[in-house]
Amino acid sequence: LAKTTQPISMDSYEGQEVNITCSHNNIATNDYITWYQQFPSQGPRFIIQGYKTKVTNEVASLFIPADRKSSTLSLPRVSLSDTAVYYCLVGDMLRNQGGKLIFGQGTELSVKP
Amino acid sequence: KAGVTQTPRYLIKTRGQQVTLSCSPISGHRSVSWYQQTPGQGLQFLFEYFSETQRNKGNFPGRFSGRQFSNSRSEMNVSTLELGDSALYLCASSLEHMNTEAFFGQGTRLTVV
């Protein structure tokens, strides 16, 4: 399982776009990149998942360069309610891994008014 | 449809006691995984059950055990509780036995005194 490295914390202001970058130098061919969001005293919530190039949904965008050694979660126009911890995970989606998700330390995003 | 339900939400136990936590997955989901979250160690995988069988196990002592019933509901048991077992215990359900999108419950906050 590829190890991931993210910034421990980030600050932003309401209305700004926030980009959180995750490094995963040892990503394997079959690995997908997944991001989860967690609010205090709640379980993590799936945000977005991708394999290469760009993925966009109603919540965020995920940018993955050609070498796939990093990925960037982009949150457009954040609000105070986006204050949370964001986790980047890398894992093989095509091969059984027994539902095991490996969470790193995550990035604590603080959005200020 | 209803999300993942964990009961109880809060629990206080004494050292040496045992505890059983319950998780009801999303209807139709067959995989249930358990995680422990502490400030020091972060989110750590405990084990996963699929079709009533444990398919994967994390690096936890044998005091931590679980099971899954035919309706996919799962229970987790911790025996001979230690102070260090105080944590948020999270259950996640997925459709299948793969690293697909996992849906987490709100967790059970266990305090051992």
When CB atoms are compared, the residue of A34, A45, A99 closest to B94 is A99
Q: What is the 3-state secondary structure (H, E, C) of chain B?
A: CCCCEEECCEEEECCCCCEEEEEECCCCCCEEEEEEEECCCEEEEEEEEECCEEEEECCCCCCEEEEECCCCCEEEEECCCCHHHCEEEEEEEECCCCCCCCEECCCEEEEEC
Q: How far is A76 from chain B (nearest CA, A)?
A: 22
**Residues A20 and A6 sit within 8 Å (Cβ to Cβ):** yes
What is the reported pLDDT for B53?
Answer: 92
Q: Which residues of B touch A3 (CB under 8 A)?
A: none
What is the reported pLDDT for B55?
Answer: 87
Q: Each residue of B24-78: pLDDT tens digit? A: 999 999 999 999 999 988 899 999 999 999 988 899 999 999 999 999 999 999 9
Q: CA of B43: which chain A residue's CA is closest?
A: A103
Strand partners of residue B47 = B34, B57
Token readout for B93 is: 């359900």
Element (H, E) at A103: none
- Mean pLDDT (10-residue bins), chain A, 113 residues: 87 97 91 92 92 94 96 96 95 62 90 96
Q: CA of B50: which chain A residue's CA is closest?
A: A98
Q: Which residues of B touch A32 (CB under 8 A)?
A: 99
**Residues B90 and A43 sit within 8 Å (Cβ to Cβ):** yes
Rounded Cα gap, residues B113 and B111, in angstroms:
6
Does residue A90 or residue B6 have the better pLDDT? B6
**Residues contacting B108, CB < 8 A, separation 6+:** B6, B7, B8, B9, B10, B11, B21, B88, B89
pLDDT band at B99 (very low <50, low <70, confident <90, very high): low
**Residues B37 and B90 sit within 8 Å (Cβ to Cβ):** yes
Asked if B95 is an interface residue toward chain A (Cβ–Cβ < 8 A), one would say no
**Residues A105 and A63 sit within 8 Å (Cβ to Cβ):** no
What does pLDDT average to over chain B? 93
A76: cis peptide before it, omega within 30°? no
Q: How far is A85 from chain B (nearest CA, A)?
A: 11
Rounded Cα gap, residues B1 and B18, in angstroms:
33
